[in-house]
Structure 1
């Protein structure tokens, strides 16, 4: 990576981490200062875990998981190690998102509030289910060494595209949730009168939006893509590394293995004819 490109990457990475961290801090300030705090008793204090877990896990941690392959100082690490880190971060994000949904349902059931009536709840539950399916698919296809390479090659662009779509949908769902909560909670003064809590929460939404935009920009730049490994590791079915094979050697071996018996017999016959002709020519000149 050229120095100018590397510096540009570092600037955007620091900016993304800063906006993501501020999003988490603003969420905590919102629920602790404006929404009376946190608890797990079925009241509004339990519901306050819902935005905290979603912003921390489903947005901030998921964003880091998306760009973890783009960090240049990890390019010397094995691809398998980076897969483990990527999968672990996404697993943590999924656990926090599920816990956030449990907190919301528990609050609604305790306060006798209907569930699953708003667009926010429909999209939110759908994206969590799809996210868990994406996580399981990535685990069985890309992390475990049993899936054939052809299947991995086919699913990789789908995996990347669906991951970005889910990340963008999570951000949109969070913005809908903030607006819905403010419309229901702010009555005196109303949300339309620009109260301090409304302005503060709107600022939180902008921080999340900028964080998502920076993550999208970093992960879609081809110059910051992890370079391919020149000596891929072949794994045995039990997951142990068998040996490192040079790409050109592997291609040559596979090419020779693909030859049919008739082609090999034809090559052998041609070599015999050439040898006979050379021998006859030598005798005629003696």
Structure 2
């Protein structure tokens, strides 16, 4: 985006403001989200409350980056005269837009539900156990939706931006970027699904309240 797509700007230059969108959405909905999913697998020997705080913080960063990314793409359409952008780029038209926006909205809802259920004010243990399978399922499902939206967005940008087949270098970079996103997603899902990487049962003394 910096070298081949003209760099970055904000509302004074909506065309280049768009370039923040793929960067921030990838960092938020894929990189930080994937790291948050792996927090319980990587820090298996750390007290659970500390891992919870890390997990919630990484997800909060994901939501912040995704919100800025959405703001960038909305402005890039709303702050220009009608007809400047291709109608197919409209954020309410393409499948990429539908899946991506749905992923961000569901992600926000998932974060709020998880925060209330497991961190503060924290539901009863029975309710947490009952909700946990749904929390895990929707977490992985939204992550997959985010990856799918990214791959569709890459293809959309490449086609409508006339990168295919005009620019071999950009085409190669975009294709490799898509492949790396797929590999990253596969690794995340594999580590989460593999029982060998699961966190061992918690000691009773780790079940501490955040408030007295």
**Equivalent of 2:175, from 178, 196, 202?**
202
**Does residue 12 of structure 2 align to residue 39 of structure 1?**
no
Deviation of 1:234 after TM superposition, in Å, equals 5.1
Deviation of 1:191 after TM superposition, in Å, equals 1.0
SS of structure 1 residue aligned to 2:2: helix
Aligned counterpart, 1:143: 119
Quote the RMSD (CA, aligned, Å).
1.7
Deviation of 1:231 after TM superposition, in Å, equals 1.9
**Does residue 61 of structure 2 align to residue 92 of structure 1?**
yes
Aligned counterpart, 2:198: 225
Deviation of 1:193 after TM superposition, in Å, equals 5.7
Aligned counterpart, 1:53: 24
**Does residue 48 of structure 2 align to residue 79 of structure 1?**
yes
TM-score with structure 2 setting the length = 0.90
1:72-101 Cα shifts (integer Å, max 9, x gaps): xx3332211110000000000011001100
1:172-231 Cα shifts (integer Å, max 9, x gaps): 100100111111111xxx614663212210111001110111111111110111111132
Aligned counterpart, 1:239: 211
On the 8 A contact 1:63/1:215 being kept in 2, the answer is yes
Deviation of 1:37 after TM superposition, in Å, equals 0.6
After superposing the two structures, state which structure 1 stretch, 139-148 or 201-210, moved more: 139-148
Give unpaired runs (5+ residues) of structure 1.
Answer: 1-30, 241-286
Question: Higher Cα Rg: structure 1 or 2?
Answer: 1
SS of structure 1 residue aligned to 2:3: helix
TM-score with structure 1 setting the length = 0.68
On the 8 A contact 1:61/1:89 being kept in 2, the answer is yes
1:239-265 Cα shifts (integer Å, max 9, x gaps): 23xxxxxxxxxxxxxxxxxxxxxxxxx
